[in-house]
Amino acid sequence: MIIGIYGTIGSGKSTFSKRFEKFGFTLLECDKISSEIVNNKNIQKALQKVFPQCFEDNKLQRHELRKLIFNDENERVKLNAIVWPELKNYLIKTVEDKNKNFIIDAALLPELELDIDLYIEIKTCFWTAAYRIFKRDKRSKKETLGIYLKQVKALSKFKSIEKIKIKNNFWNKKYKDKQITKLLLPLS
């Protein structure tokens, strides 16, 4: 089984996804995988061609790239055109093992158009998300709000996909495990 978890920054999707490991799922965190992909020499060359202003002494300045794609949707699209095909291929290859269950965690997962058995959208209010982001990432309020609003807008395209919605405001781990057990019972 392949379960896809998505939601805005700070919604708690990574924390929620990690709880599935307790139930025998293999977790695939797209943020971490994408970071590894960006370190690939061929990807670095492609990025340097498209975003030369984000390189200093042939080394990618991730904070510069983040700033650029944060401020310009066209630049984000260019980045995704380079990184996402590699990410999608990696995920497809990894989930070929039909004897395993997988959780794929990505903010905008439906955009990858993968063959997912069950989508779960993790939702939270902006204030809860902001609290988590400030605590974890130390981002500015402006950057946090900007990322959150862009992701809300991007996710609005997927209102019609069949999914389970989970409101994730300050839950405790025990409650999350009960929710996951409830969710998995009808599927087993």
Task: Concatenate the DSSP letters of all residues of 29-42 into one string.
Answer: EHHHHHHHHHTSHH
DSSP one-letter code for 133: H
- How many alpha carbons fall within 13 Å on the CB side of residue 101? 14
Domain ranges of the chain: 2-187
Print pLDDT tens along the chain (188 aa): 899 999 988 888 888 888 888 888 999 999 999 999 999 999 999 999 999 999 999 999 988 998 888 788 899 899 999 999 999 999 999 999 878 999 999 988 998 989 999 999 988 888 888 888 877 777 777 777 888 888 888 888 887 777 777 776 665 555 566 666 676 666 55
Q: How many whole angstroms separate alpha carbon 120 and alpha carbon 13?
A: 9
The closest alpha carbon to 168, from 134, 126, 137, belongs to 126
Under CATH, to which class is 2-187 assigned?
alpha beta
